[in-house]
Chain A
């Protein structure tokens, strides 16, 4: 139970943050915050050794029992690794932010509240075993990321970036929810563990591929894969600790986590392999290619993150293949999952430190523009060392951990050539080439980042601040991360044993029974015969040439105009949604009641007539009709003449009188059809209403008293005709097919004996169905009061108007 409740520890602690910020202004609030991730990190670290012998740890808190909703914390190798990354890097980032954010100028209570909220959300994402609570935490990461990007909310760019990331990730999140619901429906359970257990039967469902695509949409938008990566560069408007934490180490890896977690379910499908591998490779290439175009330090890092996430994603795609091969060649495919997790750890270490360095440079010089920076090496030696370690590791050079994961990456990509299923025999050969080219660009932008910031010559006077080395507190976190970069290079197999292999077991439970069965060891040196080594050497050489000739070929970035970019597409989409929907609603919301009436009548006619004929409801028979007498014909003629006069009259007075004639002929009808009560009422009411019409006519403003015939409009005519025909058809059909006899016989039998009356109409009104009458007289009273109100209250409105005029 404590295990699941600890997920909520950060957000509960967050409630105290505003209090601490207000009551203890002398101490930087970050120091209190630091305790939370640090203690959680220690707590999760205790699992590392325990996990080897005892299986996964679960802990459940039922949330809505009747709907089978629960928060389940499921700690296996994969979620433990992520939890450690979240809390560990979280602690380092909080430490860094204590020195980065000024306690007097910044709204720290907001910042740390959002950050702790994000921490809970992220822990929830990686530990949830329940699909719905996973989705819940997933959206919470989107929301807290939105808040953190928009932290400096008085800047336009921050708000734009926050909105953009929100739109894209929430779009993906909603798609993912759809996929989750489909999967849960297929397997009849929300638990991921149970779904994994019945993976083979799920694949036969007709919705399997749809669910797969929807879930991948969620993962790709969150992890900034092609073409959804566009929000990540704009999210760099966030404070640097946020960029380091959310947009390099944790949140963007939520998609990676999801893909890894669901690999046992979906790896059976070739769509999964192609989509994950393909989008990963495209993202890898695209991100590394465009990183060289950026001039903003954080922009370079953002594109580099995109590219590295693509790399991890592509390896997860390759990891899915290993379920389809067995026998001798299978050993070579097993590297992919290991490599993916290994690189994930490495990326978190070096990218976190690089972001912090970018923040330090920004903090100490006042700019992040790489064109203004340069020559900081001698002024900021520690920062330079850390930056060098980070970027050379990212470039894939020894003796840093990036070298190991890049070698593993080449190994798994080269292995794809051996794979023959799913059209890989035709395309498999291209994949290592793409991977290699992307690595060349990666190498080039790492040099670009390092050289132009620290080594190239530059004039310091143009910088907004006089640059100097950062305070030591700010350097602690990047130094710790950078030392991990080096340490991991020397002890990769210890990391592999305790962190990577348990995670690989979670990704590929079909292949291994326990983590110790995974027989992969990482070697720094494979011997001169290995292709990977020669590929790396080629990367270094070509990448160096590419970097040194950058000025010459950089023009190709301007070849493709801005119009064709995805950012432009996004802007246009947002604009189209905004302007387009406004146009659309202006098109039909004209404000003219005539138009709305036309829509309503046209819809009613269309619906009723279509239903009548589709359901074969139209019947026409004279079986139950009475004979038509001479009086009826005469009155009908009067009625028609009266109606036509109303329509065609030039003068309103004529129309009113003709309307009266229509009313009186209806009264005559009532007499003929033996309804004396109705006839009486109709006569009196018609008289009253004609009098009221005349009153209204008398009070018409003079300039509206122009006497002219109602103009003929074809639309009105057609709709009126349609309504008339519809009502006629309906009445004929209703008359021609009576399902049950009328209940009037009962009234006839009991009107005297039960109700003590003789006039059935009146007895129905006051006795059988007196309820209606009660409310009809209420309606009358309300109408009377409303008329009084309208007439008497008008005075005060006049006064108000005169006030306004003053």
Chain B
């Protein structure tokens, strides 16, 4: 059964970016407002699921040629790397560093190594969710 879901496809093209941006927002806001890597990752994954629902597995794979296994691994590496960074400086494992910087355009911004850790969480959550859904969906 092939149906021409023009409405769905068009809406998705708009809504996908809104969800994706929202997920990035929630991820970046995590340190000061509700949100963070976990919820952000889940929302990104749901944006991708929306794509999967609208198109099919192959199309999405061609569109976003991401190996989610690698993504998960990279996420884990980032998290572990951040955590062990401090150990190289002779301090306790899992020590975070942060400071305020004056960045052009953004102004006074706080940069925090916890963000990199959270990015690891984000990658892992996106990766695992997509692995689960793709492998179940791809199974015949």
Q: Are A767 and B96 touching (Cβ within 8 A)?
A: yes
Q: Are B39 and A677 touching (Cβ within 8 A)?
A: yes
Q: Are A777 and B35 touching (Cβ within 8 A)?
A: no
A55 proximal to B (CB < 8 A): no
A688, A692, A777: which contacts B121 (Cβ < 8 A)?
A777
A528 proximal to B (CB < 8 A): no
Interface residue ranges of A679-738 to B (CB < 8 Å): 680-681, 684-685, 687-688, 692, 695
B26, B32, B129, B136: which contacts A695 (Cβ < 8 A)?
B136
Q: Are A763 and B31 touching (Cβ within 8 A)?
A: yes
Contacts of B124 in A (CB 8 A): 777, 780-781
Of B7-15, B54-62, B71-79, the one with at least 4 CB within 8 A of chain A? B71-79
**Can you give 27 A-B contacts (C-beta < 8 A)?**
A677-B35, A680-B34, A680-B35, A684-B39, A695-B136, A755-B96, A756-B112, A758-B33, A759-B35, A766-B31, A766-B121, A770-B94, A771-B83, A773-B117, A773-B121, A774-B83, A777-B120, A777-B121, A777-B124, A778-B76, A780-B124, A780-B128, A788-B69, A788-B131, A788-B135, A791-B139, A792-B135
A198 proximal to B (CB < 8 A): no
Given A680-B39, A763-B114, A781-B128, answer yes or no on A787-B32 (Cβ-Cβ < 8 Å). no
Contacts of A785 in B (CB 8 A): 131
Contacts of A781 in B (CB 8 A): 72-73, 75-76, 124, 127-128
Bound: A226/B88 CA distance, A: 76
Point out residues on A near B: beta carbons under 8 Å: 676-677, 680-681, 684-685, 687-688, 692, 695, 755-759, 761-763, 765-767, 770-771, 773-774, 777-778, 780-781, 783-785, 787-788, 791-792
The 0/1 profile, CB within 8 Å of A marked 1, for residues 109-122 of chain B is: 01010100110110
Other than the given A756-B98, A780-B124, A781-B73, 18 more pairs (CB < 8 A) read A681-B39, A756-B114, A757-B112, A758-B32, A759-B30, A759-B33, A763-B31, A763-B114, A766-B96, A767-B114, A770-B114, A777-B76, A777-B120, A777-B125, A783-B132, A784-B128, A791-B135, A791-B139
Please report whether the interface of chain B is mostly helix, strand, loop or mixed according to DSSP.
Answer: helix
Contacts of A766 in B (CB 8 A): 31, 36-37, 96, 114, 117-118, 121
Given A757-B112, A767-B96, answer yes or no on A784-B131 (Cβ-Cβ < 8 Å). yes
Point out residues on B near A: beta carbons under 8 Å: 26, 30-39, 42-43, 46, 69, 72-73, 75-76, 79-80, 83, 94, 96, 98, 110, 112, 114, 117-118, 120-121, 124-125, 127-129, 131-132, 135-136, 139
Q: Are B120 and A759 touching (Cβ within 8 A)?
A: no
Q: Are A762 and B94 touching (Cβ within 8 A)?
A: no
Contacts of A773 in B (CB 8 A): 79, 117, 121
Task: Return the chain A residue nearest B131 by Cβ.
Answer: A784
Bound: A329/B120 CA distance, A: 97
Contacts of B120 in A (CB 8 A): 777
A758, A770, A784: which contacts B127 (Cβ < 8 A)?
A784
Contacts of A756 in B (CB 8 A): 31, 96, 98, 110, 112, 114
Bound: A695/B135 CA distance, A: 13
Contacts of B31 in A (CB 8 A): 756-759, 762-763, 766
- State the Cβ distance, B45 to closest chain A Cβ, in Å: 9
Task: Return the chain A residue nearest B130 by Cβ.
Answer: A784
Q: Are B42 and A681 touching (Cβ within 8 A)?
A: yes
- State the Cβ distance, B136 to closest chain A Cβ, in Å: 7
Contacts of A692 in B (CB 8 A): 136
Bound: A758/B35 CA distance, A: 11
B36, B42, B125: which contacts A765 (Cβ < 8 A)?
B36
Bound: A361/B79 CA distance, A: 86
- State the Cβ distance, B104 to closest chain A Cβ, in Å: 21
Q: Are B33 and A685 touching (Cβ within 8 A)?
A: no
Bound: A778/B121 CA distance, A: 10
Bound: A678/B109 CA distance, A: 27
Given A684-B39, A767-B96, A783-B128, answer yes or no on A759-B76 (Cβ-Cβ < 8 Å). no
B32, B72, B129, B136: which contacts A791 (Cβ < 8 A)?
B136
- State the Cβ distance, B82 to closest chain A Cβ, in Å: 8
